[in-house]
Structure 1
């Protein structure tokens, strides 16, 4: 029988012989890719910025990479899971979304998502939409060639809600710095859920981090919070959208494509 060294509760929830699919979404974000290739032109002096704009390469000449932050930490974390449960099959499903596919899917997602009001709503919904399809690639081991894979899972589990319940948002830390514990309590009673006196990666979502640490996910328990839309690069996909705020209403946005 498959054994899990520290994750002793897993066999009671999922048959040890049953593979577990870990869905990881990464977007081809033209804005992000151009910044990575050319640097942030917005911070340059006006004359230097104009020169860079004249010399800039066409987007089609830039190599597309899906090595987004969530892909990097996801690959690290699946190795921790494999060390803890070496007998279980962990399918790390790399779901890569080209910009063209994003554009095709966007009106579909905007029609069905709820709430469907803001740019941030769209960023989150797009990541969940492609994750829910479960279509991507898996590798038998790190460095192995990618093989097409479609998850047979009927239910998608995600971590939405933990930030609200466990003090994950940066605004809680800001509130503490401004007016101490009472400012946080006024938003969310959190004495046992977070401690903003500790550094980022420890002080927020403390209950979740302690639970992860207890079952052996030591590395995961110490990772800094990263919002889904930034980790997957689904935020502000349109070129030139870098200055658009997440709370901009979709009905008010300027179509930048």
Structure 2
């Protein structure tokens, strides 16, 4: 099992089986169950110290209902008209400006504090002007925002790699295609980034993975990085992150391997802003009035956020680190998280609107505001479906054949 991220563990090296845990939050049933599993597997004795409960972990945050998407978005208008109308709301703009300060600071810290040389120049003495930062680039609103902000803080001489991964799609007559949904979205987003940041050299890298290559690496290598997680979802996401972070593909028609040592990812955006289909279902399928539906959505968002470390981050960190790169996720910076989670779900997403608009509405509005107007209305696709490594007929919770 993985060491559960429940807080800080203190170990006496002279008595290595007696641990003390200083939990983030007060002891609850979930923490007790995790500790029981840990003691059973490793034969430990775990005692508890005082819980720390930092501000960014609080769950009793009071929302300031200065605007409500469910009240504003009942009007019938085009997407661009709706976005323009929403951005005239002074309370909403105030929140977007505060969010802008937080996300920019988070990205700035994660792209400035990086090694001064790329992987290819590690042992050289010359000044390095190669790519040091790569963005895992599906073309969606999350990664496009991160790419646009990164442009502000990365030296103008350094290129930025935008890495897009696609898994082989086989047609009915056996023909191979790489035009998966994320590949199409990425090309649209690239054009918009080039217009917004014309002085930047964007290295758009297309990583194509055949089914044979996927099976070979998954069976012989990637499965060990994903372990002890073992579902089809872990297999799909872990493989997508591994091949993307390896960065071996084609750039401008030539073979290219990204020399970046830091990989920027959009992890956390869906959990914070309501980007998954299960969030839409938590609202639309719940029997009750609008207030009760939003309360049920809040429960789903809280559940997703509470388990992001065990469901996503540890696995993704391992597979990216295996390629000699550091994974950095600006959306999960503590102050930003504290700010976003103080909002009601009715201020983050609106499932009265169609998919691709209502999910992550707050984030889409921010992207639209900074100039990503086409990207802001692209539909959300989970990476396993957008890259075509998985299909929607599979049960994501089923055990993988490889793991």
TM-score by length of 2: 0.49
Decide whether aligned partners of structure 1 residues 157 and 71 sit closer, same or farther in structure 2, where only a CA change above 3 A counts: same
1:172 aligns with 2:290: no
Deviation at 1:112, TM superposition (A): 0.8
Q: Secondary structure at 1:88's aligned position in 2?
A: coil
Q: How far is 1:199 from its partner? A: 1.8
Residue of 124, 134, 157 corresponding to 2:237: 124
The reply on whether 1:232 has 2:387 as its aligned counterpart is yes
User: In structure 2, the residue corresponding to 1:194 is in which secondary structure?
Assistant: coil
Q: Is the 8 A contact 1:10 1:16 kept in 2?
A: no
| Cross-structure match for 1:20 | 160
> Please, which of 185, 197, 200 is the counterpart of residue 298 of structure 2?
185
Structure 1 residue 246 corresponds to structure 2 residue 396: yes
Distance in 1 between the 2:355 and 2:181 partners? Answer: 17
Deviation at 1:67, TM superposition (A): 1.0
Q: Is 2:180 the partner of 1:68?
A: yes
Where do residues 60-99 of structure 1 align in structure 2 (5 Å cutoff)? 62-99=174-211
Aligned residues: CA RMSD: 2.2
Partners of 2:384 and 2:374 lie apart in 1 by 22
Cα distance in structure 1, aligned partners of 2:228 and 2:371: 36
- Provide closer, same or farther for how the CA distance between residues 78 and 115 of structure 1 changes in structure 2, counting only shifts above 3 A: farther
Aligned to 2:90: none
For structure 1, which runs of at least 5 residues remain unmatched after alignment? 1-6, 38-56, 140-145, 237-241
1:148 aligns with 2:255: yes
C-alpha displacement of 1:148 = 0.9
> What is the Cα deviation at residue 187 of structure 1?
2.1
Cα gap change, 1:17 to 1:248, in 2 (>3 Å): same
Q: In structure 2, how many angstroms separate the alpha carbons of the residues matched to 1:9 and 1:131? A: 21
Query: Secondary structure, in 3 states, of the residue corresponding to 1:94?
Result: strand
- TM-score if structure 1 supplies the norm length? 0.74
Once the two structures are overlaid, the 10-residue window that deviates more, 172-181 or 158-167, is 172-181
Is 1:210 aligned with 2:336? Answer: no
Offset of residue 168 of structure 1: 0.6
CA shift at 1:174, angstroms? 1.4
Render the CA deviation track for 1:185-206: whole Å, top value 9, x for unaligned: 2223512211111221111112
Distance 2:272 2:241 in 1: 20
Q: Using the alignment, how far apart are the partners of 2:370 and 2:296 within structure 1? A: 33
Contact (CA 8 Å) 1:19, 1:88: kept in 2 or not? Answer: yes
SS in 2 for 1:96: strand
Q: Does 1:163 align with 2:252?
A: no
Measured against aligned partners, the alpha-carbon deviations of 1:109-160 in whole angstroms (never above 9, x if no partner) come to: 1111156220011001111000111111011xxxxxx111111111112222
What is the CA-CA distance between 1:98 and the residue it aligns to?
1.3
Structure with larger RCO (C-alpha < 8 A, sep 6+) = 1
Q: Deviations over 1:18-39 (max 9, x none)?
A: 211100001114xxx24xx2xx
2:48 matched to which residue of 1? none
Indicate how the Cα distance of structure 1 residues 123 and 10 shifts in structure 2: closer, same or farther if over 3 A, else same. Answer: closer
Q: 1:112 to 1:215 in 2, by over 3 A?
A: same
Partner secondary structure for residue 262 of structure 2: coil
- Pairing 1:136–2:276 present: no
1:8, 1:120 → 2: CA distance?
29
Residues matched between the structures, number: 208
How far 1:63 sits from its partner (Å)?
2.1
Say if 2:151 and 2:200, in contact at 8 Å, map to a contact too.
Answer: no
TM-superposed deviation, 1:243: 4.7
Deviates more, 1:175-184 or 1:118-127: 175-184
